[in-house]
Amino acid sequence: MTLQVEFVSSLESISQQQWQALCANSGPFLDYRFLVALEQSSSIGHDTGWMPLHGLIYRNNQLIGALPCYIKHHSYGEYVFDFAWANAYHQHGLDYYPKLVCAIPFTPVGGNRLLLSDNSAWCQDDWVCLLDALRSQLSHLGGSSIHWLFPTTELSKQLTQYQHLQRKSVQFHWFNHNYASFDDFLQNFTSRKRKNVLKERNRVHGSGIQITRLTGDVITAEDMAFFYQCYRQTYLKRSGHDGYLTEAFFTQLLATMPEHLLIVKASMDGNGLASALYLYDRQQLSGRYWGTLTEVDYLHFELCYYQGIEFCIEQNIPRFNPGTQGEHKIARGFTPVYCYSNHWLAHPQFHAAVDDFLQREASHIAEYLAETTALLPFKQLTD
C-alpha cells in the first residue's frame, strides 16, 4: 500500500508512546522527551531559525515511521557547514533559506534519522514516496534544499541511491576496549604521551579542586542551575549571547529524563568553578555542554574528556563522543572517525556544483583522517 506522509509543526501532535515505539534503542537525542523539551522551552521555534516540521509516515492509517525535521532560516547550530553554498546562492540572486533539515538541533551526534517500526517492510517505492513528500514540502516553502545531518552510515549510503549527495567529515571518539581503569587505558599510550595526560590531571587534582560526578535522581535542581550558570557565562564570554538552549530546556530534561544525564562538577573550598553535562545510554556517552566561572588550566580537559572516559570504563559504555571538532582530543586517546551528512538541492546546476565540490572535498577529508590517525598516542600505532 502507498505511504501517506503528514508533516506536523510540533511533536506534541502525537503521543510520547507512539514516538517512543518508533525509536527504541535510538539514544537519548531522539527520545520524545528530549525533542519536546526543545520545543516547550522555546530553544527552537519562534524567532530561533529552527521551526519543527516533523514527518509522520502512515500505511493503512497506521503510524509506521517518522523523521525529526525542521525548517531552517540560517545554518547555525547544525555543525555541518554550508555557508559557502548559501553565499553562492546569494551571489546568483537566489534564496538559500528556508531549507529543510532532518536532524537533531544543536546536536552533532550520529544516529538514525528515519524511524521505522519495521525496517524489513521498507522498500524502494516507500523511499520514492517519502522523498517526493519532502520535495513537495520544500517546494511549498519555497526552499532550496534538503539536508540529512549526522545519519547512520547505513542511512547515508541508502540516501546516495536517491541523489542525496554524501558529505563526510571527521569527529574524534573514544572507544572502550574493556579497560579495567583509567590507568589501564593509559598503559596503551607511549611513555611521553602518558606523562602528558598524567601531568594535566595532576595539575587539576593537586590544586585542591574537587571533582564530583552526579547521575539520575542524585542531580538536584541546584546542580542544574549551577551548570546553566556556567554554560551561560561561557557563551556570553565567547559569543556574546546566552547560548542556544534555554535554562527551561535543561530544567525540563532533569524533570523528565534524569536517567540519561551525567553532570560533572568542579569546586574548591565549597565554591563551584565549572560544570559539564553529558547524555548517555548503554551504547554511548555524549559530551554536549560545558561552562566555567573561573579559568583553570586543564580543567576543561578534566571535566569534558577524562571524567567522561572514567565514567565509560566504570559503566562499561563502549563509546564516548565528546562533541565535534578539536584536534587536541587526539593526544588524549580519541580516534578520528567519519561522520556523514546528505544533501539534495532543488536547483539542478547548484546540485551538480555541490556534487563536484563534495567529490573533491572527500579526498582531502580522507587525507585528514589518515594524518590524524597517525598522531594517536597509542603504542601500537607509533612505536
- What are 197-243's pLDDT values in tens digits? 999 999 999 999 999 999 999 999 999 999 999 999 988 887 777 78
- Bridge-partner residues for 286, per DSSP? 279, 321
Amino acid 229: pLDDT = 96
**pTM over 0.85, yes/no:** yes
3-state secondary structure at position 221: helix
Cβ-contact 159, 166 below 8 angstroms: yes
Average pLDDT, the chain: 95
Instruction: Let me know if 343 is exposed, middle or buried by CB neighbors in 10 A (0-12, 13-18, 19+).
Output: buried
**Residue pLDDT, tens place only, 205-215:** 999 999 999 99
> Quick one: average pLDDT of 121-147?
96
- Bridge-partner residues for 268, per DSSP? 271
How many other CB atoms are found less than 10 A from the CB of residue 111?
21
CA torsion through residues 243, 286, 330, 366, sign: negative
Domains of the chain: 4-172+337-373 (3.40.630.30), 177-317 (3.40.630.30)
3-state secondary structure at position 184: helix
> Any idea what DSSP says for residue 378?
B
Cβ-contact 302, 273 below 8 angstroms: no
Q: What are phi and psi of 261, to 5 degrees?
A: -110, 140
- CA-nearest of 301, 304, 285, 375 to 336 is 375
Q: In this structure, which amino acid lies at residue 60?
A: N
Cβ-contact 274, 231 below 8 angstroms: no
**Residue pLDDT, tens place only, 334-379:** 999 999 999 999 999 999 999 999 999 999 999 999 999 999 999 8
Is residue 277 predicted with pLDDT exceeding 90?
yes
Amino acid 240: pLDDT = 76
First vs last Cα of the chain: how many Å apart?
59
Amino acid 208: pLDDT = 93
Distance CA 308, CA 152 (A): 23
Residue with cell 577529508: 365
